């Protein structure tokens, strides 16, 4: 029996490739860049499965013309907002993701951004690198202290809970807004707020960990920035579309928001050039899961889902 043919539009970890080659006939792209809609459609006639990342867009228009040969899209990501699930379901295409394995790595980046933004890391790095550091005084490079501050988390899933655990090490007081209140053993003393607006007025730091949906797009807009206390810091390691970037720039420019830390942007790749000149915004190129351990685990999880599907079992991480 012929082995299933699997397309890898992006370059996966060496360990993932070694395992995949042992079980599947792989079609690997020579250049590691986001696949176009035309390429996705073309490859659907040549393979039984795909392992895309969030950079590959499976819109309703793409789904409508995918070849019937394609049976499963085993995403190398937790988020599936790049997939029109209803359209893919209508075509009978199975969709999976890779939850659980990237929570700690992403929470680490959120903590890095929180500390870096609060303590003016971008500005400080520039001053030292440029040779402009020529003095010191008690008023020099004063930032915002994280230890003992109040942290608001939007979306208390795996990543949100991992961040909360790390923040407790800094003595932070944890507040959260979620679709539902957590059980006591998961909340671990964090204060639940059914109303996001009510929570915003109480926190010094805000970190976003919810999915992007029509309801959460531009969740933090000009009105909600105004609800945050003066000198608050906002961090986003989830999806760029959760924040109205023009409103963020205005809130920082006015001095109401002290700083921000962003690992994701409304436009990716590339980010938002309008934010680049603001040193109070620390920016990273969507690398929340970028550790060797996590990338191997994500690749293995995607392969676990393929292995289950092609052995006639339901994939563990079925989303469609």
61: tokens are: 């228009």
Q: Is 268 labeled as catalytic in the residue annotation?
A: yes
130 burial level (CB within 10 Å; 0-12, 13-18, 19+): exposed
158: tokens are: 């795996």
Q: How far apart are CA 115 and CA 113, in angstroms?
A: 5
Does residue 42 have a cis peptide bond before it, meaning omega lies within 30 degrees of 0? no
Catalytic-labelled residue, pool 76, 193, 239, 295: 239
Catalytic-labelled residue, pool 120, 177, 286, 295: 286
Q: How far apart are CA 241 and CA 211, in angstroms?
A: 10
Catalytic-labelled residue, pool 165, 181, 268, 278: 268
Q: Is 279 labeled as catalytic in the residue annotation?
A: no
First CA to last CA distance, the chain: 27
Alpha helices (H) along the chain: 14-23, 37-44, 60-64, 85-90, 103-118, 121-129, 158-168, 184-187, 196-200, 222-227, 245-253, 292-310
Q: Is 286 labeled as catalytic in the residue annotation?
A: yes
Q: Hunting for tokens 């005084």 — which residue is that?
A: 137
**Helices 103-118, 121-129: inter-axial angle, 10-degree rounding:** 70
Catalytic positions, written as ranges: 239, 268, 286
């Amino acid at each position: 029996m012929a082995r299933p043919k699997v397309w890898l539009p992006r370059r996966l970890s060496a360990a993932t490739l070694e395992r995949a080659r042992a079980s599947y006939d792989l079609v690997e792209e020579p250049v590691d860049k986001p696949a176009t809609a035309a390429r996705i459609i073309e490859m659907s006639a040549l393979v039984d499965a795909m392992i895309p990342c969030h950079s590959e867009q499976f819109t309703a228009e793409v789904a409508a013309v995918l070849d019937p040969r394609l049976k499963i899209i085993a995403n190398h990501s937790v988020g599936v907002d790049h997939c029109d699930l209803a359209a893919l379901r209508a075509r009978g295409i199975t969709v999976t993701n890779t939850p659980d394995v990237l929570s700690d790595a992403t929470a680490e980046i959120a903590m890095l951004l929180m500390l870096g933004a609060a303590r003016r890391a971008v500005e400080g790095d520039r001053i030292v690198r440029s040779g402009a550091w020529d003095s010191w005084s008690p008023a020099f490079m004063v930032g915002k202290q994280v230890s003992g501050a109040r942290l608001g988390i939007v979306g208390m899933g795996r990543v949100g809970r991992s961040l909360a655990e790390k923040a407790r090490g800094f003595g932070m007081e944890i507040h959260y807004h979620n679709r539902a209140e957590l059980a006591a053993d998961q909340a671990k003393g964090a204060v639940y707020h059914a109303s996001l607006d009510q929570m915003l007025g109480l926190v010094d730091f805000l970190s976003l960990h919810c999915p992007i949906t029509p309801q959460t797009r531009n969740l933090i807009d000009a009105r909600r920035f105004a609800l945050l206390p003066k000198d608050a810091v906002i961090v986003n390691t989830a999806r760029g579309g959760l924040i109205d970037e023009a409103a963020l720039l205005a809130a920082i420019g006015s001095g109401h928001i002290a700083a921000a830390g962003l690992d994701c942007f409304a436009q990716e790749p590339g980010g938002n050039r309008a934010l680049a000149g603001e040193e109070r915004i620390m920016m990273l190129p969507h690398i929340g899961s970028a550790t060797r351990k996590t990338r191997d685990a994500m690749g293995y999880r995607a392969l676990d889902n393929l292995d289950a599907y092609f052995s006639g079992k339901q994939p563990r991480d079925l989303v469609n």
